[in-house]
Amino acid sequence: EIEGSIYSIDQNLWCRVIENGDLDDIKNPTKENHFLWTRYNANCNDERTLSLGFMNGLPVSINGVFFKLKDLISELNNIGKILQIGRFNGLEDTPLGLKNHEVREAPAAEIIHKAKSYLESAILTQTELRLKLSLDYRWTELVVNGNWYSLEKNSIDAAIKLLNQPLNGVVHLHLSNKNVFPAALETDKALDFFTLEDEINQSKSNFSYGEYYHLNSIHNKIRN
């Protein structure tokens, strides 16, 4: 808290959250002085490339250099804030059903989320992606409502850990003003034609017509 401030401000390693004051009225536009980490600077129009490496679904390296997670988050925050990446303006649900207006800054979170989503889309099937999306959403609800140690949350942890196991690779990103664009991907577990072509050709004689087009067995072979 800043003495005399009209805002309520919370922050941790991941995020800075601003609420109250003139933000209580959603008709009022956000202003540059609401932000601190991503406040405008003369270098915000720069562009850069970045390669983010993942192991079992967790970010572990930047441009080939390995970091502890907390140090990786700090490094990505420093990179992203220069380009004003990670600004969020939304309404938070409350137990009373009221919508609380919040402005957030989370540069590292946006970079990691965009990169990992791209990696997931290459490796997980459509049904697995839908399952993980629902698990991620429910996990967030439980944690926000204080159910960190619940059996349901621990069960979701176990499922997400399994879905994360094949998520290994490097995502190449193009960063520009307020934008994270996944440009390319390196992984040997992608379910794309380039990766699957040899497996399909080698397996034709072992599959029925229906199984050949379903490809579930080949999918699992590639990722295991």
Q: Determine contact, residues 38/105, Cβ cutoff 8 Å.
A: yes
Give the whole-angstrom CA distance, residue 82 versus residue 14. 16
Amino acid at 106: A
Q: What are phi and psi of 16, to 5 degrees?
A: -120, 130
Residue 193 pLDDT: 80
Amino acid at 10: D
**Could you count the other beta carbons within 10 Å of the beta carbon of residue 70?**
10
Q: Which two tokens stand for residue 184?
A: 């390319």
Residue 142 vs residues 98, 134, 138, 148, 176: alpha-carbon distances, Å: 18, 12, 6, 7, 34
Residue 85 pLDDT: 96
Q: Determine contact, residues 88/104, Cβ cutoff 8 Å.
A: yes
Give the whole-angstrom CA distance, residue 51 versus residue 64. 7
Q: How many CA atoms lie within 13 A of 216 on its CB side?
A: 7
Q: Determine contact, residues 85/110, Cβ cutoff 8 Å.
A: yes
Q: To the nearest 10°, the Cα dihedral for 97, 100, 101, 102? A: -120
Regarding beta strands 87-93 and 8-11, do their DSSP bridges make them parallel or antiparallel, or are they unpaired? unpaired
DSSP class of residue 77? H
Backbone region of residue 21 per phi and psi (left: phi > 0; alpha: psi in -120 to 50; beta: other values): left
Regarding beta strands 99-105 and 48-55, do their DSSP bridges make them parallel or antiparallel, or are they unpaired? unpaired
pTM: 0.87
Q: Which two tokens stand for residue 122?
A: 């290459």
Q: What is the CA radius of gyration of the chain?
A: 21
* Cβ neighbours of residue 128 closer than 8 Å, sequence gap 6 or more: 163
Selection from 60, 54, 45, 171 nearest residue 118 by Cα: 171
Residue 46 pLDDT: 84
Residue 209 pLDDT: 52
Residue 41 pLDDT: 81
- The pLDDT averaged over each successive group of 10 residues in the chain (224 residues) is 74 95 91 91 83 98 98 97 94 84 96 98 95 96 92 97 97 96 94 75 60 63 72
